[in-house]
């Protein structure tokens, strides 16, 4: 039996499709007509861009976000400048110039101190391979047309590869690289596909079309499984299916503990299309509408009317339930080519989110006008991201009031009582929670960034992924400070990071007094079931116990023990 790390629960039984990276063999010959060669290179590049756009158009939510970031790298002139120079000035053929030119840029990214930028080297490597395939007319593997019950086995799966998958054909995913927080892992959990990462040398150990079985919870991989092993795994698979079917009875139930403590389980969405899953899973509202997808899915700044229509659609479909829209959150890992933002050495600590909106108020005002106009169609709340100080809240609220006055002057209707809240995702905001709560109507804790900024670990870095943990005592204490600060001012506090959906973490959040759990729609019913199984008083005792601990490992073990005891 082979072993890796299980990152998405479920049982996969099927035949392997082993993906091996085959280098295109190139020579450094020179051409007579440099102009024609340059045009050929640009055509191949544009073909890859067009292919990527077609794939991206079919996506939504987090996957759309990731693919748009990939597309921006693909269209960045910095990527192609060296390859173009090698053709124009030195006369090299397009293939050789692409290989050498792109690898020069790839090496620069690999050596960057910033972990996020360093990780982009794998995207450049993937782009290079796709352009080379066009140049040598090599057909790419059609990942959209794989046989049913295929188990994908690879060293890694690139951003573009995962976007092309026909997920209905995939019985499981096994890769050598990756971590619990990598894109592949998140995608697998979102679509409920069993997945294992960290399976060392798996590409060499398994052959193509081999019959195998896998357990996405334990990380176990069974080559040519025995009938007994198949029977055991099939039983687990059946139990998981029964569990999923049983969850349907929680669609219309309230998110309330056995002793009457009331919470709400709401959804994270990226586009109006995501409302189908929100409704199907019985969400009590939308806790995070990532409005930046409206910007990232466009070649130019979306107009006020385009934004208005999107917000209106979501509010109408929510049927009076609260919809929290996060204002434009770009920068860091999200860029907009048409904004021409400067490249930064450390974008996660740079010019992003509310910092951009406050310094470029005309962009901010367009979004605010669209939001306020849409507010008459439902229960809208506006959430400001990346708040680090009280001055930022006051400055943002001043701009909001200016927009309200502009709408009044034009006699345009809007809800005058729209709530304005902030994300708690920077440690300074959690520490100042009591003071910040006096300036706004609600909090939502963004654990993904809060963990990253608290423990100084970039969440996508597999080398130190074990250090990026929601179980760190400092993170839990900051969460407590945020919740306590909100409650002292009698405003509600939610959480929209991935921790809100973790069944090991939910009991302590209930114990700390969290009011709202916001997550991917596919996780909501499991979370609601968990909340309804809890006793609030017991959870408070658990929270007090955990707050005295100083080890992330001990906290994780204690919370897992508590979950298993339920």
Starting at the earlier edge strand, list the strands of the sheet with 170-175: 2-3, 220-223, 211-215, 11-19, 150-154, 170-175, 195-197, 5-8
Alpha-carbon torsion (125, 129, 130, 132), positive or negative? positive
* First-last CA distance in the chain: 31
Q: What is the rounded radius of gyration, in angstroms, for the C-alpha atoms of the chain?
A: 25
Separation CA 461–CA 43 (nearest Å) = 34
* Burial bucket for residue 194 (CB in 10 Å: 0-12, 13-18, 19+): buried
Indicate which residue of 183, 357, 440, 536 is catalytic. 183
Separation CA 200–CA 515 (nearest Å) = 42
Separation CA 287–CA 290 (nearest Å) = 10
Question: CA geometry: angle at 555 spanning 553 and 556, to 5°?
Answer: 65
CB atoms < 10 A from the CB of 29, how many? 10
| Long-range contacts at 54-62 (CB < 8 A, ≥ 24 apart) | 55/160, 55/163, 55/164, 56/163, 56/297, 59/163, 60/270, 60/271, 60/273, 60/274, 60/293, 61/190, 61/269, 61/270, 61/271, 61/274, 61/290, 61/293, 62/186, 62/187, 62/190, 62/270
Phi and psi at 497, nearest 5°, equal -85, 175
Packing angle, helices 34-57 and 77-88, rounded to 10: 160
Q: Is 539 a catalytic residue?
A: no
Separation CA 247–CA 175 (nearest Å) = 30
Distances (CA, A) of 265 to 251, 400, 423, 525: 11, 28, 17, 8
Separation CA 303–CA 274 (nearest Å) = 21
Strands, E assignment, 133-244: 150-154, 170-175, 195-197, 211-215, 220-223
Indicate which residue of 493, 496, 536, 539 is catalytic. 496
Report whether 363 contacts 328 (CB < 8 A).
Answer: yes
Q: Is 183 a catalytic residue?
A: yes
Catalytic site residues?
183, 496
């Amino acid at each position: 039996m082979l072993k890796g790390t299980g990152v998405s629960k479920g049982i996969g039984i099927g035949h392997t499709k082993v993906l091996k990276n085959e280098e295109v063999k190139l020579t450094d010959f020179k051409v007579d007509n440099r102009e024609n060669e340059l045009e050929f290179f640009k055509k191949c590049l544009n073909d890859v861009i067009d292919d990527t756009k077609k794939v991206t158009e079919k996506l939504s939510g987090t996957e759309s976000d990731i693919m748009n970031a990939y597309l921006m790298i693909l269209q960045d002139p910095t990527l192609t400048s060296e390859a173009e120079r090698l053709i124009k000035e030195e006369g090299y053929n397009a293939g050789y110039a692409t290989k050498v030119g792109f690898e020069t840029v790839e090496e620069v990214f690999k050596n960057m101190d910033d972990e996020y930028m360093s990780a982009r080297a794998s995207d450049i490597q993937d782009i290079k391979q796709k352009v080379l395939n066009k140049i040598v007319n090599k057909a790419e593997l059609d990942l959209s047309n794989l046989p049913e019950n295929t188990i994908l086995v690879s060293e890694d799966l690139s951003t573009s590869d995962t976007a092309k998958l026909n997920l209905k054909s995939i019985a499981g995913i096994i890769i050598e690289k990756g971590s619990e927080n990598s894109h592949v892992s998140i995608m697998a959990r979102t679509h409920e596909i069993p997945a294992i990462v960290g399976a060392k040398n798996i590409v060499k150990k398994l052959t193509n079309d081999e019959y195998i079985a896998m357990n996405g919870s334990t990380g176990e991989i069974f080559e040519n499984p025995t009938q007994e092993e198949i029977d055991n795994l099939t039983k687990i698979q059946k139990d998981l299916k029964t569990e999923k079917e049983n969850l349907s009875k929680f669609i219309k139930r309230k998110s309330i503990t056995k002793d009457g403590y009331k919470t709400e389980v709401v959804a994270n969405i990226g586009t109006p299309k995501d409302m189908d899953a929100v409704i199907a899973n019985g969400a009590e509202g939308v806790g995070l509408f990532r409005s930046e997808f409206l910007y990232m899915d466009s070649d130019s700044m979306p107009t006020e009317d385009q934004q208005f229509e999107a917000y209106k659609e979501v509010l109408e479909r929510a049927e009076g339930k609260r919809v929290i829209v996060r204002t434009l959150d770009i920068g860091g890992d999200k860029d907009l080519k048409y904004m021409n933002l400067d490249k930064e050495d450390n974008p996660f600590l740079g010019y992003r989110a509310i910092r951009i909106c406050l310094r470029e108020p005309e962009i901010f005002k367009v979004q605010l006008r669209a939001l306020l106009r849409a507010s008459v169609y439902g229960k809208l709340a506006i959430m400001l991201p990346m708040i680090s100080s009280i001055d930022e809240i006051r400055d943002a609220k001043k701009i909001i009031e200016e927009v309200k006055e502009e709408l009044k002057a034009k006699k345009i209707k809007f809800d005058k009582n729209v709530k304005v809240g902030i994300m708690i995702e920077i440690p300074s905001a959690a520490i100042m929670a009591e003071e910040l709560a006096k300036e706004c109507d609600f909090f939502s804790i963004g654990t993904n960034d809060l963990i990253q900024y608290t423990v100084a670990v970039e969440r996508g870095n597999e080398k130190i992924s074990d250090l990026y943990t929601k179980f760190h005592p400092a993170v839990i204490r900051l969460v407590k400070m945020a919740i306590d600060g909100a409650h002292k001012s009698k405003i509600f506090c939610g959480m929209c990071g991935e921790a809100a959906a973790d069944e090991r973490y939910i009991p302590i959040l209930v114990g700390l007094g969290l009011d709202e759990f916001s997550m991917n729609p596919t996780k909501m019913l499991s979370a609601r079931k968990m909340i309804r199984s809890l006793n609030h008083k017991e959870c408070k005792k658990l929270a007090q116990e955990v707050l005295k601990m100083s080890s992330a490992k001990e906290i994780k073990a204690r919370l897992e023990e508590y979950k298993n005891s339920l």
